[in-house]
Structure 1
Amino acid sequence: MSYQDILYEVADKIATITLNRPDRMNAWTPVMEREVRTAMQQAAADSEVRVIVLTGAGRGFCAGADMQVLQTIDPSDVRRATDLPPFDMNRRPDWQTRYAFYPSIPKPIIGMLNGATAGIGLVHALYCDVRFAADSAVFTTAFARRGLIAEHGISWMLPQIVGHANALDLLLSARRVAADEALRMGLVNRLYPADQLREQTYAYARDLADNVAPASMRVIKRQLYDVPFQTLAEATIEANREMAISLASADFKEGVASFVEKRPPRFSSV
C-alpha cells in the first residue's frame, strides 16, 4: 500500500509509521489523518507485527495542524468526521472515535517523539501507549492560543497521564514545556539524547517483540484502558477470568519452559 503523507515499514516484527512532511514539521493534514488510521489498522491485522512505533521525519514529531488547513476548515467537519466505522463492534465505543482509536489497536504503540510535539500532534502522542522523547523535544497543547478548546478527547486523556492540576496548567496556558519538565510530570516515559532516541526506542520495541507474549500484551493493554470505566471488583473479576485463560494457554507453558531452560521464548503470534 502506498502513502502520501506518511511512511510505513515493517522490520524485526516492528511496524514503523512515520509522519512524513518534514518541510512542514509534519503538520497534520486530512490526508495524514486517513493514512495514519489506515496504517494502524494495517499493522494491527499483520501477524508479523508485534509492536508499532509512531514517529516523525526530520526535526519534529508533529507541530500541530497545518495552518493552511485551519484557515479554511469547515466547523461542521468536526462532527461529520467523527462518524467513522468502528474497528470492532465488541469494543468500547470510547476507543472507536476519530482520534481515540489507538487503545483499540491490540498491539503496543510507542510514540518516538523526536522533536516539537504540539496541538493535534500532542493528542496523537498521548494516545500512544508509551512515549519516548528526545531531550531536545518541546511540547505544547497550543489550542487556547489559537482560540480553540481542548480538542479530540485530550481533556479526558491528558489528566489520566499527568493529573488534573498539570492538565489544567498545560491546557489553559498552552505554554511550551521542555523535555525535562515533561518527564517530571509523566507526560513522557523516558528521555534520551536526540542521537540515541532511535536506538533506545527500537531496543525497547525489539525486547517486547522478541520476549513478551503478544496475547499477554493484547490483554494487558485492554485491561488498563478498561480500568477507568470499572470498579475494583469489576477489574478483579475480569482479571481472574483472563488469568484462567492464560494459565491454560500454550504461551504460559512456553514462558515457564523458556525461563527454566534459559533460552529465548517462542510465543505464538496471536
Structure 2
Amino acid sequence: MTYEHIAFEIHEGVATVTLNRPDKLNAWTRLMEREVRDAMEQSEQDDAVRVIILTGSGRGFCAGADMDLLSGIEDGSEKREPGAVYGTRPYNVAVPADYQTQYSYFPSLSKPVIAAINGPAAGLGMVVSLYCDMRFASRDAIFMTAFAKRGLIAEHGISWMLPRLIGHSAALDLLLSSRKVTAEEALQLGLVNQVHEADSLLPAVQAYAKDLATNVSPRSMAVMKRQVYNAQFQSLNEAVAIGNEEMLKSFSSEDFKEGVAHFVEKRAPNFSGR
C-alpha cells in the first residue's frame, strides 16, 4: 500500500510508523487514521517485526484533529461513529473488547508500541499517545488535552486512560484546564517514561526498541503486555491465578528453552516467539 499521510519502514525487527504531514504539525485526518491502522496490522502480522515505534515528522508529534475534520463535524458533513470498531477482526481475542475501538486498539496488539513524541501532542494527538505502551519525549514536546478549549469533552476514552497513568486529580487538572504540559512536567507526572534532547530522541527510542527486538522473548512480551492490560479489569486473585497458569505454559515454550540455553552458553539469544 502506498501511503499519503504516514511513512512506514521496517528495520532490524522494528517497525516505524511516522505521521507525515509536517506542514500541518501532523494533524490527524481520516486518511491518516486508516493508514496508521493498516501499518499496525502489517506490523502485527509480520513475524519479523517485534517492536513498533510511532512518531511524527518535522517539529510535531500530532497537533490533534485536522481543522477541516472538525469543521466537517460541525456542519454535519463528517459522520462520526462513537466507539466504532475499525477493522475486520480483533487483533487479540484474549484482551477485552474495550481495547478494540477506534483509537484504543494499540493495547490489543501483541507487540510493544512505543511513542517517540518529538513535539506537540494535543487533543487527539495526545489521546493516541496514551494508548501506546510507552512514551519517550523530546524536551521540545508539549502535551495538551485541548478539548475544553474547543467546547468538547474528554473523548475517546481519555477519561479512563489518563487517570490510570497519572492519577485522578492530575488527570482532572490537565482535562479541565487544557493547559500546556512540558516534557519535564510530563516526566514528573509519569505521563512519559523518558525525556531526551530533540536530536537524540529517535536514536534513543530506536536503541531501546532494538534491544527489545534482539534480546527479549517475543512470546514473553506478548503475554506480559496482555497480562498488564487485562489486569485493569481483574481482581488480584484473578491476576495471580492467570500469572501462575501462564508461567506453566512458559515452561514448555521454545523461548524458555532458548532463554536458558543462551544464558548457559553465554551467547546472544535467538528467540522464535513460540
Which category of TM-score, normalised to the shorter sequence, fits these structures?
over 0.9
Q: CA deviation at 1:81?
A: 7.0
- Residue by residue over 1:151-194, the C-alpha shift from the partner in whole angstroms, topping out at 9 and shown as x without a partner, is 10111010111111110000000000011000000010000000
Once residues 247 and 17 of structure 2 are traced to their aligned partners in structure 1, the CA distance between those partners, rounded to angstroms, is 33
Paired position in structure 1 for 2:79: 77
Once residues 75 and 33 of structure 1 are traced to their aligned partners in structure 2, the CA distance between those partners, rounded to angstroms, is 18
Residues 1:244 and 1:83: Cα distance change in structure 2 (over 3 Å): closer
Is 1:128 matched up with 2:135? no
Contact 1:17 1:52 in 2 (8 A): yes
Matching residue's letter, 1:240: N
Is 1:106 matched up with 2:110? yes
Q: CA deviation at 1:236?
A: 0.7
Q: Which moved more, 1:152-161 or 1:68-77?
A: 68-77
Paired position in structure 2 for 1:245: 249
Is 1:139 matched up with 2:124? no
- Gaps of at least 5 residues in structure 1 are none
Matching residue's letter, 1:22: P
Q: CA deviation at 1:83?
A: 4.4
Matching residue's letter, 2:71: Q
Describe how 1:11-90 pairs up with structure 2 within 5 A.
Answer: 11-73=11-73, 74=76, 77-79=79-81, 82-84=84-86, 85-88=88-91, 90=93
Once residues 143 and 33 of structure 1 are traced to their aligned partners in structure 2, the CA distance between those partners, rounded to angstroms, is 19
Once residues 118 and 196 of structure 1 are traced to their aligned partners in structure 2, the CA distance between those partners, rounded to angstroms, is 22
Paired position in structure 1 for 2:210: 206
Is 1:257 matched up with 2:261? yes
Q: CA deviation at 1:86?
A: 3.8
Contact 2:255 2:273 in 1 (8 A): no
- Gaps of at least 5 residues in structure 2 are none
Paired position in structure 2 for 1:96: 100
Matching residue's letter, 1:59: R
Residues 1:88 and 1:44: Cα distance change in structure 2 (over 3 Å): closer
Superposition RMSD in Å: 1.4
Q: What is the TM-score normalised by the length of structure 1?
A: 0.97
Residues 1:89 and 1:127: Cα distance change in structure 2 (over 3 Å): closer
Matching residue's letter, 1:67: M
Matching residue's letter, 2:42: Q
- Residue by residue over 1:93-145, the C-alpha shift from the partner in whole angstroms, topping out at 9 and shown as x without a partner, is 10111110001110000000000110000001000000000011111000000
Matching residue's letter, 2:60: G
Q: What is the TM-score normalised by the length of structure 2?
A: 0.95
